[in-house]
Amino acid sequence: AQRVTQPEKLLSVFKGAPVELKCNYSYSGSPELFWYVQYSRQRLQLLLRHISRESIKGFTADLNKGETSFHLKKPFAQEEDSAMYYCALRKFSSGSARQLTFGSGTQLTVLP
């Protein structure tokens, strides 16, 4: 069974500092990885996905299959980045197991 681990429940950084939110997964096949974000009093929404290889709001994430990781990084954190971040994994295979498995989340606080 697939599993997603976010080891940090809480993470605080100062404005302008680099930030890295860790995500490790366990899955033997080809995974599809996502980061979702939930800002205060807003709905959960997609931030980025690994197959797009895009940068959204200054965030990037690289899939490292050797380390089974998909860490989210931003070189200079902003106060508006404060939010709950969830890493999620989806199997690439067919069948009913194509739903997302979410990690437990990391609450990021960017201090002024």
Measured from the CB atom, the residue of 22 and 90 that comes closer to other proteins is 90
Determine, following the binding rule CB under 8 A, whether residue 59 of this chain makes contact with other proteins: no
β-pairing, 106-111 vs 10-14, is parallel
β-pairing, 24-26 vs 72-74, is unpaired
Determine, following the binding rule CB under 8 A, whether residue 26 of this chain makes contact with other proteins: no
Q: What DSSP designation does 64 have? A: B
Determine, following the binding rule CB under 8 A, whether residue 3 of this chain makes contact with other proteins: no
SS3 content of the chain, % helix, strand, coil (to 5): 5, 45, 45
**How many other C-beta atoms lie within 10 A of the C-beta of residue 102?**
15
Contact 36, 20 (CB under 8 A): no
One of 11, 24, 68, 105 touching other proteins (CB under 8 A) = 105
DSSP, collapsed to helix, strand or coil, labels residue 95 as coil
Determine, following the binding rule CB under 8 A, whether residue 45 of this chain makes contact with other proteins: yes
Determine, following the binding rule CB under 8 A, whether residue 43 of this chain makes contact with other proteins: yes
Measured from the CB atom, the residue of 23 and 77 that comes closer to other proteins is 23
x/- map, 60-79, other proteins, by CB under 8 A: --------------------
Residues at the contact surface with other proteins, assessed by CB under 8 A = 4, 6, 9, 32, 34, 36, 43-46, 49, 51, 86, 90, 96, 98-105
